[in-house]
Copies of this chain bind each other. A is one copy, B any other.
Amino acid sequence: MADLSIREATARDAGTILGFITELAIYEKAEHEVLATEEDICNSLFGENSSAHGLICSLDGEAVGFAIYFFNYSTWLGKPGLYLEDLYVRPEQRGGGTGTEILKHLAGIAVARGCGRFEWSVLDWNEPAIKFYESLGAKPQDEWIVYRLTGKALTDLAAGSVS
């Protein structure tokens, strides 16, 4: 394998990250859903109240992929978990183990931080990915459904809150 390096992203990577987010969205035919600006990335990943983190993966010194992760929580364990929100490797770099190296790096962060688990989500029709994740020993939490409140439904619920 060529010279692969993985490091924590910093505010100077915001433009690179937005570029990768846009490439990922084009790949997923979801470009119209990308509303993030470089300023949003700066504030949300590197600002005072940021709660998510980025990784930049470089091959021979050139950035070829990124990951966004944050810490979630296991109530039964009373410990954090690590959740991988997004992982993207440029198409021309795929198949060489780059994605696996990013997963290994994240597993290392999870263990170092004392996390009880490492989680991510997959679309239920993505059988090659599912097969790969199961080969790593990951187990599907398929009895759980995430519910999402957004837009007006969210602000309406908030408006009725007691203080």
CB of A121 within 8 Å of the partner chain: yes
CB of A60 within 8 Å of the partner chain: no
State the copy count for this chain.
Answer: 2
Check A146–B144 contact: CB distance below 8 A: yes
The 11 sampled A-B contact pairs (Cβ below 8 Å) are A35-B78, A51-B72, A51-B73, A51-B80, A104-B160, A104-B162, A117-B150, A122-B144, A122-B147, A133-B147, A138-B148
Chain A residues engaging chain B, CB cutoff 8 angstroms:
4-6, 18, 21, 24-25, 30, 33-37, 40-41, 43-44, 49-52, 68, 70-73, 75-80, 83, 85-86, 101, 103-105, 107-108, 110-111, 113, 116-125, 130, 133-134, 136-150, 152-158, 160-162
